[in-house]
Amino acid sequence: MKILFCSSEMVPFAKTGGLADVSGALPQALEKKGCLVKVALPKYKGIKVPGKIARLGEAIDVFLIENEQYFNRSGLYGEAGGDYDDNLLRFSFFCQQVLDLLKQQNFCPDIIHCNDWQSALIPVYLKTKLNQDDFFKQTKTIFTIHNLAYQGLFAKEQFPQTNLDWSLFNMQALEFYNQVNLLKGGLLFADFITTVSPTYAQEIQLPKFGCGLDGVLRQRKENLSGIINGLDYTAWNPATDDKIFQKYGPGNLELKAVNKKGLQRELNLTEDENIPLFGIVTRLAEQKGIELIISALEKMAKQKLQFVLLGTGDNKYHEALELIKQKKYKNFSINLRFDATLAQKIYAGCDIFLMPSNYEPCGLGQLISLKYGTIPVVRKTGGLADTVEDYQSKTGQGNGFVFEEYSGKKMFQAIERSMAVYKKRNQWLKLMRRAMQYDFSWAASAEKYIKLYRQALNER
Ligand code: ADP
């Protein structure tokens, strides 16, 4: 099967978020399963590769779409907190160039797998301008939503920049409350739609999570499914992690304590092996449930626990957390910055990881913390609901602590439950071992994508 994977960011070339991790890992996992995969990406300023084709892994061609004026800039989508005002032009160009290039290279994919609004016009072009084109006659499209909140919205006046006919500016195509909505185009014109967890695939069909597109998603529900993201265990593994104080695995879990001690020392927390150490590594955004954390902090400060936060994001949260920081609680360490090394030390050194998200398409934090034996406390939503199962002390089932209602009170109750189990050392050890054994590698998810590709090609 020949696949073109199309994305606006990809590790190790360009990254602003989780899409880059998926785009760097999934094509390689597909290739390992026998697919012939090529990928397409804009050639941003930071990509210092000579020529138009780079390599992902050993053998995957990366078509770099060049345009001095559009892509030779410091940002991917914008700078200094604002979006570039020609993003519609930039990504319409990207999508058209990708299709042109396939012809030039005479690479006719069975599947073009598009991701988020930046490549959403590809299915639209294929089903409209190119629907009589013999080259793409057999090609099917898959469109993956990584976060429905980002839709690629533009003013109506800019619509001609897509090079599409005005007849497509209507409610059953790209029009959305009198604006251009690229994501909506992907949802309506792709053969199949996926998103990054089964629960999120259900949630986005509800008005509460649908970001205005729940109706469109319900209309396409027969062709909509959720496939959980994998985690790259070559990058995230406590047994091989060079950034942490001490490598460890399920077989020598006692060594995890070295990481706890190292982290406590580095963050000026009392070095105490027996106090439960809670961690959170996050964007400071509404999505992540930061309100719940902030509302619970005063109460947590009085408990026999330690708490470390690492995060950056919205100003309002920086301000609120600065105020808490000024209170100098001895059992808190609040770090308002991006720091990949400290993040790894937190995953390795903490006992419990907090992820009380308001919504969560998939989430990586809980997958990483499970692998590091750091037990997640999560809200039951999206990918968190699909990967963390509430611990039952009677049966020993489960791998974390789950609460449902979006409230500080319910989150705190889950925290208390985790502390109660933490005190029972043997139970906790078993829980850690169990958590570390869950397999969320890319291989299983790649298999599911291949099954869907076959379905799209009618080869079930
Ligand atoms: P999202 O992509 O929505 O932000 P995920 O849970 O899918 O959330 O992925 C977040 C990733 O970014 C995780 O690997 C997390 O460790 C990392 N991360 C988030 N904030 C920080 C930070 N301030 N410093 C270091 N790493 C961070």
Query: Looking at residue 207, which CATH number applies to its domain?
Result: 3.40.50.2000
For ligand 1, whether the C-beta of 313 sits within 6 Å is no
Residues 6 or more apart whose CB falls under 8 angstroms from that of 282 comprise 288, 290, 309, 310, 311, 313, 355, 365
With a 6 Å cutoff on the Cβ, whether 7 touches ligand 1 is no
Residue type, 88: L
Asked if residue 134 and residue 23 are part of one domain, the reply reads yes
**243 domain residue, yes or no:** no
Give me the helices (H) in 105-146, please.
121-127
Rounded Cα distance, 408 and 405, in Å: 9
Q: Are residues 222 and 179 in the same domain?
A: yes
Tell whether ligand 1 has an atom less than 6 A from the beta carbon of residue 228: no
What are the residues whose beta carbons fall under 8 Å from the beta carbon of 301, sequence distance 6 or more? Answer: 327, 329, 331, 332
C-alpha 215 chain-centroid distance? 24
How far does residue 179's CA lie from ligand 1's centre (Å)?
Answer: 31
Q: Measured from the CB, is residue 355 less than 6 Å from ligand 1?
A: no
Extended strands (E) in 111-210? 111-115, 140-145, 153-155, 175-176, 179-181, 192-195
Domain enclosing residue 226, as ranges: 2-230+442-458
Is residue 237 one of the residues assigned to a domain?
Answer: no
Q: How far apart are CA 18 and CA 361, in angstroms?
A: 10
Q: Are residues 186 and 287 in the same domain?
A: no
Q: Looking at the structure, do residues 226 and 328 belong to the same domain, yes or no?
A: no
C-beta neighbour count of 388 within 10 angstroms: 27
Cα angle, residue 319 at apex, residues 375 and 77 outer, rounded to 5°: 80
Q: For atom 19 of ligand 1, which residue has the closest CA?
A: 282
Closest CA to 54 of 15, 24, 95: 24
Query: What phi, psi does 282 have (nearest 5°)?
Result: -160, 155
Domain count, the chain: 2
Same domain, 168 and 29: yes
- The finding on whether 318 has its CB within 6 A of some atom of ligand 1 is no
* Number of other residues whose CB lies within 10 A of the CB of residue 107: 14
Structural domain contains residue 242: no
Q: Ligand 1 centre from 102 Cα, in Å? A: 34
- Kindly report the number of other CB atoms within 10 A of residue 294's CB atom: 17
Residues 207 and 264 in one domain: no
- Alpha-carbon gap, residue 101 to 449, rounded angstroms: 24
* Residue 22 and residue 148 in one domain: yes
CA of 125 to the centre of ligand 1 (A): 34
**Would you say residue 98 lies in a domain?**
yes
Q: Are residues 277 and 320 in the same domain?
A: yes
89-124 pLDDT tens trace: 999 999 999 999 999 999 999 999 999 999 999 999
Q: Output Rg (C-alpha) for the chain, integer angstroms.
A: 23
Q: What is the DSSP string of 383-446?
A: HHHHH--B--TTT---SBEEE-SSSHHHHHHHHHHHHHHHHSHHHHHHHHHHHHH----HHHHH
Determine the pLDDT at residue 460.
54
pLDDT, tens digit (0-9, with 9 covering 90-100), for 24-72? 999 999 999 999 999 999 999 999 999 999 999 989 999 999 999 999 9
Same domain, 124 and 190: yes
Residues 391, 451 within the same domain: no
Instruction: Report d(CA 301, CA 142) in Å as an integer.
Output: 48
Instruction: For residues 417 and 309, give the distance between their C-alpha atoms in angstroms, rounded to a whole number.
Output: 20
Q: Which residue has the least CA distance to atom 20 on ligand 1?
A: 282
CA–CA separation, 230 and 24 (whole Å): 11
Q: Are residues 197 and 274 in the same domain?
A: no
Report the SS3 class of residue 196: coil
- Ligand 1 binding pocket includes 289 (Cβ within 6 Å): no
Q: Scan for tokens 């997640």, then name that residue.
A: 376
Q: Is 37 in the pocket of ligand 1 (CB under 6 A)?
A: no
Q: Is the CB of 80 under 6 A from ligand 1?
A: no
Cβ–ligand 1 distance for 384 under 6 Å, the answer: no
How many residues does the structure list for the chain?
A: 460
Query: Is any atom of ligand 1 closer than 6 Å to the C-beta of 338?
Result: yes
Which amino acid belongs to residue 284?
L
Question: Do residues 339 and 239 make contact, with C-beta atoms less than 8 angstroms apart?
Answer: no
pLDDT for res 81 = 76
16 alpha carbon – ligand 1 mean position (Å): 10
pLDDT of residue 16: 87
Query: Does the beta carbon of 376 lie inside 6 Å of ligand 1?
Result: no
240 within a domain of the structure (yes/no): no
Q: Is residue 235 assigned to a domain?
A: no
Report yes or no on 239 lying in a domain: no
Nearest atom in ligand 1 to the alpha carbon of residue 310 is: 23
Instruction: Give every residue of the chain whose pLDDT is below 70, as ranges.
Output: 460
DSSP-assigned beta bridge partners for residue 78 = 83
**Token match 């999934």: residue?**
26
Q: How confident is the model at residue 17, as a pLDDT?
A: 83
Is 238 among the domain residues? no
Are residue 15 and residue 100 in the same domain, yes or no?
A: yes
